[in-house]
Amino acid sequence: MRAIRHFIKEGFRGLSDNRQGGFTYVELIMVMAILGTMTAVVTMSTQDYVGDHGTKAALAVEKQIIATAATAHLKDGRSLPVTDYDLYRERYITSKSVLADYYIDSDGTITQNPR
């Protein structure tokens, strides 16, 4: 309780006595080096995780787009089998896939061949 009263009365002035506060330049550089190393390790370890899941999600979305385009292709009276390039050429999709090649079989099965 006495220390609290002293702090309220004197503030930070009475706490340091004769010592100077703060960090040395070497201590700051060491902390920066440690933080930089930790950042590099975390970045490298999470990069593969995020990249793999992002690619899988993109392939799933592309497959759904191809399925929708193939359905529209059939409703227009055209027949299967068809490839994603055929759907692109006939303007059922706006761009050809960069992640995989797709083939829609005559029974409607979509085969996905990642590049």
**Residue from 90, 100, 92 nearest 69 by CA:** 92
Q: pTM of the prediction?
A: 0.55
pLDDT tens per residue, range 49-104: 666 777 888 888 999 999 999 999 999 999 888 999 999 999 999 888 878 899 99
**Average pLDDT value for residue range 2-11:** 64
Residue 4 to residue 30: CA distance in whole angstroms: 34
- With contact defined as beta carbons under 8 Å apart, do 105 and 74 qualify? no
**Phi and psi dihedrals of 95, rounded to 5?**
-150, 150
Cα 61–67–70 angle (5° rounding)? 145
Residue 34: the pLDDT is 95
